[in-house]
Amino acid sequence: MEWYQYYLIYAVSGALTAWWAIYLPSIQLLDRFTDGEHPILQWQLVSSLVWITLAMITMPILTIVLLSEAKRKKFIKSLVRGYLAKRDE
């Protein structure tokens, strides 16, 4: 196999792991804070596809977040704050 095939396997599997370990908990927190009224919650399929696509591109950086529990929790909190800040504007 060529190097790009290895990277593609790494990126896809890592993006799915990031979706499960980072995106889903952040969406659950967002649902709790907004009672399901946030646009991301109303377009979950589209937002999940966007998340997975961006995670595939940024997988080398997200690997650091995935390997550290403290960094993952901090990332999730920051992500939810960012979602809420965009809604308030």
Please give the DSSP secondary-structure letter assigned to residue 38: S
User: What's the rounded Cα separation, in Å, for the pair 57 and 65?
Assistant: 15
Mean pLDDT of 45-64: 94
Q: Is the pLDDT of residue 89 over 90?
A: no
Mean pLDDT of 37-58: 92
The verdict on residue 87 lying in a domain is: no
Q: Is the pLDDT of residue 28 over 80?
A: yes
The verdict on residue 89 lying in a domain is: no
The verdict on residue 65 lying in a domain is: yes
The dihedral formed by the CA atoms of 83, 85, 86 and 89, expressed in degrees to the nearest 10: 160
Q: What pLDDT, on a 0 to 100 scale, did the predictor assign at position 29?
A: 93
3-state secondary structure of 36: coil
Q: What pLDDT, on a 0 to 100 scale, did the predictor assign at position 37?
A: 86
Q: Is the pLDDT of residue 16 over 70?
A: yes
The verdict on residue 61 lying in a domain is: yes
Q: Which domain holds residue 34?
A: 3-82
Residue type, 75: F
Q: Name the domain count of the chain.
A: 1
